[in-house]
Structure 1
Amino acid sequence: MSRALSARRLSSFLPHHALQAWPTPAQLAALGTVLCLYHADSSELGGWRQAVSVHACQGVDSEGVRESLCFLDGRGRCVWRLYLLPDSDFLAWDRLVASLPPGPEHDAEGSVGERLWRRLAGHLGGQRWRLCALRLHAADEGRT
């Protein structure tokens, strides 16, 4: 699946100081194909439109290395998350992650039991996620 992102969204939703730590559509497009997690009641780009901040989540657990970009809404809830796939551009990912703030400490840690409890709490709270492989493209600003 392929989706286009527009940079116009940046100036209208984000405070000026947040623009420095916000990935541009071109940076996201450079990643190639990524795994996208989004809310089931929204579209693949719904979280991108709702997000006001982003951070890099990195950690190691019993299942190996966990790395993602977590996009948060104004209430601090994760509304969009991107993960690398084997076809993703790892160098573009590293450059992007280096420009973002690190995630909170609890993202870097977490046992299997902790993650299961969080997942259960999300289901009980009605938060359902969908996932898809997504290749993002920067939208041409000349188009309407």
Structure 2
Amino acid sequence: MTLHLRRFLVLLLLILAPLPVAARPAWACSCAENSDPLGRSETAFVGVAEDVDEPWFGNEVEVRFAVESVLKGEAGDSVTLITMKDSASCGYEFVAGGRYRVFETGGETNLCDGNELLSEGHATGGEDRTLIFWGGTALVLLLVAGGVTWLIRKS
């Protein structure tokens, strides 16, 4: 392999290496129904989001609520629901400490269900995950660049 071809391949690797890390799937969410959210849901309650567990990988977010009052169906003192991570895939963005009116069906809730923020909470953890993600991406790029530099010097 010639030196020019090797350098071209190394440069191509450096350019393409971060793409799988940075790429996210494209989704589309469209809420066409305008019917009564209470009528469509299995359970409805007012509660405080105690824990919002966002996944490192995947798209499902697990949210645990402390139930204050039940509007429809049966709910205990605590309810855990699944929603999607991104609003583009119809996920509802719950914030820990926030007080919500929540409508669920089958243990899940989404952007189209009519959930309503009643009072603000405080964000926890999202900023830390973003920092870790970009720090890890930078580390991978440094390792690739170091390996490429070693290969070029060796040849």
TM range (shorter): under 0.3
Larger gyration radius, structure 1 or structure 2: 2
Bigger relative CO (Cα 8 Å, ≥ 6 apart):
1
| TM-score normalized by the length of structure 2 | 0.21
Higher strand share: 1
